[in-house]
Amino acid sequence: MIMIRIFALLLIIPTCAMAYALDGFDDEDDLSTNGTTSQQAEFQVPPVEVKDQPIPKYTIGPLDLLEIEVFRVAELSRVVRVSSEGTISLPLVGTIKVTGYTVEEVGGVIQKHLEKEYLQDPYVSVFIKEYESQKITINGWVESPGIFPLKGKTTLIQALSIAGGIKRLGDPTDVVIFREKPGVGTTGYKINFEEVQAGLISDPILQSHDIIVVPENGSKAAFEYTAKSIGTFLGFLPYL
């Protein structure tokens, strides 16, 4: 008799527990509008705000061609080439160093020189007409190969876009960036550009004098030719 009562209790208890659980889910007050329970919503991690990193401005380099305008003083406005030493010479200002500075900073220096003794509240604007110091080369199977100025922070995706994109017969999975380390040599970094576009690997930030080569599908001739033309080539490495 005792065994029969115990068996009956074992059947009743799970049934009651299940009914209680179903009754809890029937209560609409326990559900949020997005289908999660209020208890779950309480422990959701808030989204992290990702702020874009500021893009560094282009800094003037040797042999860049500058256009300098002094507002309403045409005789002081002129086009000058930066010397290999990184300086320019201007009337009433003399010789000043400009390499490593932005056009805004150089304009401010010229303005201070002029207002010190010669002009009242001068307004000076500086523009870069030719970027000669910082360039990248894009060769191979792209729509518009050539040499391009490196204006501030530029990534591989941006550079190939500037070159018109990869041709239909180009191989995006085997792009190479040739990068020279002064006094050491040049290394070719192999990159799967499709993985860069998909966000699986980071988009490389290019440096001055980088050479980007996109080979033809099934052929390594393009970057092998580039490797042979480099004086001290250290070999190929995967981009990490």
- Per the model's pLDDT, the better-predicted residue between 166 and 207 turns out to be 166
Helix (H) or strand (E) holding 194: helix 193-197
The pLDDT of residue 193 is: 96
Q: What is the pTM of this model?
A: 0.56
The pLDDT of residue 230 is: 81
* Least confidently predicted of 100-114, 154-168, 172-186: 172-186
C-alpha to C-alpha distances, 235 to 45, 176, 177, 178, nearest whole angstrom = 46, 11, 12, 10
For 136-146, how does the pLDDT look when each residue is reduced to its tens digit (9 = 90+)? Answer: 999 999 999 99
Classify burial at 3, counting beta carbons within 10 Å of its beta carbon; exposed 0-12, middle 13-18, buried 19 or more. exposed
Residue 9 has pLDDT above 70, yes or no: no
Residue 55 has pLDDT above 90, yes or no: no
pLDDT band at 56 (very low <50, low <70, confident <90, very high): low
Three-state DSSP class for residue 82 = coil
Instruction: Record the tokens describing residue 22, joined without a space.
Output: 């179903």
Residue 239 CA to its chain's centroid (Å): 15
Residue 51 has pLDDT above 50, yes or no: no
Domains in the chain, CATH or no CATH each: 65-130 (3.30.1950.10), 135-238 (3.10.560.10)
The pLDDT of residue 235 is: 87
Nearest-angstrom CA–CA distance, 173 and 43: 42
pLDDT band at 18 (very low <50, low <70, confident <90, very high): very low
Three-state DSSP class for residue 163 = coil
Residue 66 CA to its chain's centroid (Å): 26
Rg (CA), the chain: 32
Residue 99 has pLDDT above 90, yes or no: yes
- Per the model's pLDDT, the better-predicted residue between 59 and 109 turns out to be 109
pLDDT band at 164 (very low <50, low <70, confident <90, very high): very high
Checking DSSP bridges between strand 65-70 and strand 124-130, what pairing results, if any? antiparallel
CB 155 within 8 A of CB 203: yes
